[in-house]
């Protein structure tokens, strides 16, 4: 059981480190969105995707180890870290595992906050872009009639003067 706990601790440390890098990349993405730097945004998104795939692999490893630990500990159902640690009394690394789990949860919460902010920035950017497009190209059906005169279904709502 101690070997499995050591293995679990190693995977949690890897996840901890990956989340640190992921937080940094999310911060870079946030800065790029604030500065409207499309090149930096794309680079940050590519980096975030790569890191999220790495984190997914590490999470699958963690789940596998936790399932094996649950089998050794006699835990039925979903193997939750708190249940595993409750059965691992007397082993020195339980404090370390609890600390790592808490820090990982904290980093995930911070990452969630950054992602929410980025989502708001992206939504606001799309709204501004949509307004600019409506100014430049309003949704009206302008057509020329057979006589060559210009006919419009509605009054011009564009801010730009297109009569020139």
* Four-residue CA torsion sign, 6, 11, 13, 16: negative
Q: Looking at residue 4, what is its pLDDT? A: 84
Q: Looking at residue 147, what is its pLDDT? A: 67
For residue 31, CA distances in Å to 28, 35, 38, 44, 133 come to 5, 6, 11, 10, 25
Q: Quick one: pLDDT band at residue 114, thresholds 50, 70, 90?
A: very high
Q: Looking at residue 21, what is its pLDDT? A: 96
- Locate the domains of the chain by residue range: 2-136
CA nearest neighbour of 51 among 13, 20, 12: 20
Please check the confidence at residue 107 and state whether its pLDDT lies above 90.
Answer: yes
Q: Looking at residue 146, what is its pLDDT? A: 58
Q: Quick one: pLDDT band at residue 93, thresholds 50, 70, 90?
A: confident
* pLDDT one-digit tens code per residue, 40-59: 999 999 999 999 999 999 99
Report the DSSP beta bridge partners of residue 95: none
Report the DSSP beta bridge partners of residue 144: 150
* pLDDT one-digit tens code per residue, 10-50: 999 999 999 999 999 999 999 999 998 999 999 999 999 99
CA distance 7 to 85: 14
The yes/no answer on whether domain 2-136 falls in CATH 3.30.530 is: no
């Amino acid at each position: 059981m101690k070997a499995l706990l050591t293995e679990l601790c190693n995977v949690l440390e890897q996840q901890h480190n990956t989340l640190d890098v992921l937080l940094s990349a999310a911060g870079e993405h946030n800065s790029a969105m604030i500065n409207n730097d499309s090149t930096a945004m794309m680079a940050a998104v590519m980096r975030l995707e790569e890191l999220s795939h790495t984190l997914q692999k590490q999470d699958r490893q963690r789940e596998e180890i936790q399932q094996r630990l649950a089998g050794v500990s006699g835990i039925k159902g979903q193997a939750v870290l708190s249940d595993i640690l409750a059965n691992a009394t007397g082993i020195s690394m339980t404090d370390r595992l609890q600390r790592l789990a808490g820090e990982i949860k904290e980093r995930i919460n911070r990452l969630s906050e950054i992602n929410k902010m980025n989502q708001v920035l992206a939504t606001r950017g799309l709204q501004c872009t949509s307004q600019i497009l409506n100014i430049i190209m309003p949704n009206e059906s302008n057509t020329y009639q057979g006589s060559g005169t210009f006919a419009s279904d509605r009054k011009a709502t564009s801010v730009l003067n297109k009569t020139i």
